[in-house]
Structure 1
Amino acid sequence: MPLKELTERRNILHQKSDAQTVLRHALTDIQIGKVALVSSFGAESVVLLHMISEIDKATPVIFLDTEMLFPETLTYQREVAIALGLTDVRVITPDRNAVLVEDVDGLLHQADTDACCDLRKTRPLAAALDDFDGWITGRKQFQGGQRAQLPLFEKEGRKIKVNPLAKWSAQNLQDYMVKHDLPRHPLVAKGYPSVGCMPCTTRVSEHEDQRAGRWRNSTKTECGIHFDTSHTTKEGQAA
């Protein structure tokens, strides 16, 4: 079955399903194939990670260490994986030779943030996903921009992306974390409701959008993993 038709059928099938049902189906659907969860172990990541742990602790979880993350994120990743009993967390890093050629001094982000994200995020993730037919993301419609119409299942190239939390609100996430007493990313309490790489993430004030601290004072709003960054603007942001 063509992937576009498959995603359309799955969206119809699960239009009233809860996130756990969507997630369980994605992990066991023969037609979708082999699937991994891609997690940043960021501010809200623990929700999907907890759901995964309750369904199958051996689910492949891909964590992209750009080598520019906050130390708190690296510590949090290890602690959450242990706490939830996840047994197949794959820590992916940028290609060493590519970094030596393109960003030997670690300052590429100052000259070209898109090139830095491509080097440290987009290409490493693409390589890590080579062996998978689909992947699970934690994106939500309330994050705005192109995500406002985010479906539960979508086709991207030759893979299917699954967004179990697409219809969740910020309150849904908080309620779930409280209900299950899940560990919070330590930077959230310090004013970082969205946590990315250290050089490109700043604190956010109470009245700002939660992603306002990502690439501040720039038109950039996406790293390129989910949307093409070459045409991304604040007005048509892919947050």
Structure 2
Amino acid sequence: MSLDARVRMLNRWFFGRPGWDIMAHALNAMGRVAVVSSFGADSAVLLHMTARIDPRAPVLLVDTGRLFPETLAYRDMLADRLGLAGLEVIRPDPERIRAVDPDDTLYHEDPDACCALRKTEPLQAALARFDGWVTGRKRYQTAERATLDPFEVERPPDAPPRIKVNPLAHWTADDVAHYITAYDLPQHPLVAEGYPSIGCWPCTMPVDPGEDPRAGRWPGAEKTECGIHISGGEVRRGPAGDA
């Protein structure tokens, strides 16, 4: 069976079933699978599921070197509270940083290239040893995610195709809030300061009540995704323009 046919079958099987079931299948029946988390605004939901199903499951966080101090503190607290024994912090290659962004201005001049350098490249390298990975994306978050399915095929440019799992794809904002309340999960401290979506500090701002939750990400730029969920894409800057 092709990977595309398998994904179609999985989406039929799990249609209308709870996120718990999708998450359990990903961690127990799909080979070596990593959970990728930003430890952002509502990351506790997916991480709580992970801890309940398999606390030793690999959990990957990309530390871009630009994360808020509050995010790093939240990571440590949440990992300890939930017992996430498989937490692994992924970092960009320092030599690549020096070659591509020596004056530390890439985030301002080309945010897509900065995300590729600091997040997409190191994550794709880390995911090369896994059969698939789990994300916390949800349909309500952006227009680009509005048709998201629980299972999809990802085709990285320099690696074999693999399955990406989105257990919370059909959840609403109310579903997330109810889950957090039901299990008394701690939220990221910046949520209370008006940050409903949290990434790197140079490219994340608080939003006003009623604004789109992701309006504070890359404000002023025509950009809605960091790039890890977009196939292809190259870092476009470096010595002699060859990176």
TM range (shorter): over 0.9
Deviations 1:51-110 (A, max 9, x none): 110011000000010000100001100110000001010000101110111112322111
Q: After TM superposition, where is structure 1 displaced by more than 3 Å over at least 4 residues in a row? A: none
Aligned length in residues: 228
1:25 aligns with 2:25: yes
2:39 aligned to which of 38, 41, 54: 41
| Partner SS for 2:124 | helix
Q: Distance in 1 between matches of 2:31 and 2:55?
A: 18
The aligned counterpart of 1:236 is none
| Contact 1:220 1:229 (C-alpha < 8 Å) held by counterparts | no
Q: Distance in 2 between matches of 1:207 and 1:144?
A: 15
Aligned-pair RMSD on alpha carbons? Answer: 1.1
The aligned counterpart of 2:183 is 180
Unpaired runs of at least 5, structure 1: 231-239
TM superposition score normalised by structure 2: 0.92
Q: Distance in 2 between matches of 1:57 and 1:46?
A: 13
AA in 1 matched with 2:225: E
The aligned counterpart of 1:87 is 85
| Contact 1:99 1:119 (C-alpha < 8 Å) held by counterparts | yes
| Contact 1:92 1:128 (C-alpha < 8 Å) held by counterparts | yes
Q: Distance in 2 between matches of 1:186 and 1:229?
A: 33
Offset at residue 144 of structure 1 (A): 2.7
| Partner SS for 2:99 | helix
Q: Distance in 2 between matches of 1:229 and 1:168?
A: 28
| Partner SS for 2:39 | coil
> What is the identity percentage for the equivalent residue pairs of Structure 1 and Structure 2?
51
1:217 aligned to which of 210, 220, 229: 220
AA in 2 matched with 1:45: S
Deviations 1:128-158 (A, max 9, x none): 1010010000000111312111000000111
| Contact 1:69 1:198 (C-alpha < 8 Å) held by counterparts | yes
2:149 aligned to which of 148, 151, 158: 151
| Contact 1:222 1:229 (C-alpha < 8 Å) held by counterparts | no
2:110 aligned to which of 109, 112, 117: 112
Q: Distance in 2 between matches of 1:98 and 1:168?
A: 38
Q: Distance in 1 between matches of 2:88 and 2:104?
A: 23
Offset at residue 193 of structure 1 (A): 0.3
Q: Distance in 1 between matches of 2:119 and 2:88?
A: 14
Structure 1 residues 228 and 34, CA, compared in 2 at 3 Å: closer, same or farther?
closer
| Partner SS for 2:146 | helix
| Partner SS for 1:97 | helix
Offset at residue 229 of structure 1 (A): 8.7
